[in-house]
């Protein structure tokens, strides 16, 4: 009997397999939602956002003069930005906590060998772990949408902003989840996996924004200082450099997207006028959140593939 006869394989690409047909995903979801832990975490998460929203509301309405909020729209925008910012911060801390122990935990619990001697393919193990962690993280994100929507009561926030914010949060969550899973597979110990995942997360959410902010300010000042004297090529390069820098991290992508949304009234694509000694050129610009989304999803995919390869590899 050949192996092909003995071992029928499921058809279809592994990436598109139904996650609910994945025993690891089902086990993890069942375990995660069992008991009070999942609900306590969700409640604490929402209470933190509620508390922060109330605080922002009280400050912005009682001290309008101090903060210069002259309209309800600005209050709404402040609330929305604050809530999304806090969600990003919370996801930054929760995503690694849910994923960095996913595979290293199996090794430490001495269940990894049991799994690896079953017929469970490596991709199902990795995807199942990631899927269950992301499911819970998305539950947190979706549960906070009504709180984000409070901003609509004050005006100043468009529906498209809420959608873009959700996309940026979702993509960040997926990328951080994939980072956690990758380090969890790459490290044998959960502690080491946690440290490397948090180090990478902090680099993405704090280090990169600071670095890119400095470069952005530099680019912007170069663009405005040079004005028409700067050559068109340099101006275009600086403009695209700005978009590329913003796409490296969620904070910059969100703030530049919002800024261009207000100033250029475009959430996707617009033309920027570049004036130089040679004339006026219309430069096509893609809103940074789109590039950010594409880059982070690509990185997440690469990390998942590397995770699968790591899980599939046999000890030498």
Partner 1 sequence: MPELAFESSGSALPAESAPVVDETDLIIETRGLVKRYGKLTAVNDLWLRVPRGAIYGFVGPNGAGKTSTMRILTTLMLPTAGQAYVAGYEVTKNPRAVRRAIGYMPDYFGVYEDMKVWEYLDFFAACYEIPESSRSQLINDLLDLVDLSHRRDDMVDKLSRGMKQRLCLARTLVHDPQVLILDEPASGLDPRARVEIRELMVELARMGKTIFFSSHILADVAEICTHIGIIEAGRMVMQGSLESIRRQLAPHREAVVTLLNRAEEAKSVLSGIQGVLAVAELPEEGGRKRLRIAFEGEDALLSAMVQALAAQGIPILHFSEQTQDLESVFMKVTKGIVS
What secondary structure letter does DSSP report for 20?
A: G
- Asked if residue 77 lies in contact with residue 261, where contact means CB atoms within 8 angstroms, the answer is no
66 vs 314, beta carbon nearer partner 1: 314
Residues that bind partner 1 (CB under 8 A): 3, 6-7, 23-24, 26-27, 30-31, 34-35, 109-111, 113-120, 314-316
3-state secondary structure of 291: helix
Cβ of residue 109: shortest distance to partner 1, in angstroms? 4
Please compute, for residue 303, the number of CA atoms within 13 A of its CA located in the half-sphere on the CB side: 23
CA distance 237 to 279: 16
11 vs 34, beta carbon nearer partner 1: 34
Cβ of residue 206: shortest distance to partner 1, in angstroms? 33
- Best CA proximity match to 248, nearest among 141, 172, 167, 303: 172
Cβ of residue 95: shortest distance to partner 1, in angstroms? 20
Cβ of residue 180: shortest distance to partner 1, in angstroms? 19
- Best CA proximity match to 45, nearest among 115, 165, 185, 144: 144
**Cβ within 8 Å of residue 216, ≥6 positions away:** 242, 245, 246, 252, 256
β-strand pairing of 269-276 with 279-286: antiparallel
Cβ of residue 191: shortest distance to partner 1, in angstroms? 17
Cβ of residue 186: shortest distance to partner 1, in angstroms? 18
Q: Which structure tokens are listed for 36? A: 């009070």
77 vs 107, beta carbon nearer partner 1: 107
Cβ of residue 23: shortest distance to partner 1, in angstroms? 3
**Cβ within 8 Å of residue 209, ≥6 positions away:** 249, 251, 252
Sign of the alpha-carbon dihedral angle for 168, 170, 176, 179: negative
Q: Which structure tokens are listed for 150? A: 């409070």
221 sits in which H/E element = helix 208-226
């Amino acid at each position: 009997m050949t192996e092909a006869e003995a071992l029928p394989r499921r058809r279809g690409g592994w990436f598109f397999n139904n996650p609910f047909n994945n025993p690891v995903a089902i086990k993890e979801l069942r375990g995660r939602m069992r008991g009070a832990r999942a609900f306590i975490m969700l409640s604490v998460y929402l209470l933190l956002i509620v508390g922060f929203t109330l605080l922002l509301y009280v400050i912005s309405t009682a001290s309008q003069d101090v903060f210069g909020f002259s309209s309800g729209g600005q209050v709404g925008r402040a609330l929305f930005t604050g809530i999304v910012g806090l969600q990003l911060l919370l996801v930054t801390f929760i995503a690694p906590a849910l994923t960095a122990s996913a595979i290293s935990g199996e090794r430490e619990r001495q269940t990894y060998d049991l799994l690896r001697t079953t017929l469970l393919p490596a991709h199902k193990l990795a995807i199942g772990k990631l899927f269950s962690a992301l499911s819970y993280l998305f539950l947190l994100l979706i549960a906070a949408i009504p709180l984000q929507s409070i901003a609509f009561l004050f005006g100043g926030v468009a529906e498209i902003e809420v959608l873009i914010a959700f996309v940026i949060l979702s993509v960040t969550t997926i990328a951080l989840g994939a980072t956690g899973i990758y380090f969890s597979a790459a490290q044998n110990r959960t502690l080491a996996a946690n440290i490397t995942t948090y180090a990478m997360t902090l680099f993405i959410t704090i280090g990169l924004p600071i670095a890119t902010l400095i470069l952005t300010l530099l680019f912007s000042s170069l663009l405005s200082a040079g004005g028409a004297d700067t050559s068109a090529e340099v101006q275009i390069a600086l403009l695209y450099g700005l978009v590329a820098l913003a796409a490296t991290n969620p904070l910059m992508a969100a703030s530049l997207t919002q800024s261009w949304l207000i100033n250029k009234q475009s959430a996707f694509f617009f033309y920027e006028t570049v004036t130089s000694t040679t004339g006026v050129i219309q430069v096509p610009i893609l809103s940074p959140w789109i590039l950010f989304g594409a880059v982070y999803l690509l990185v997440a995919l690469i990390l998942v593939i590397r995770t699968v390869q790591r899980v599939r590899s046999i000890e030498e």
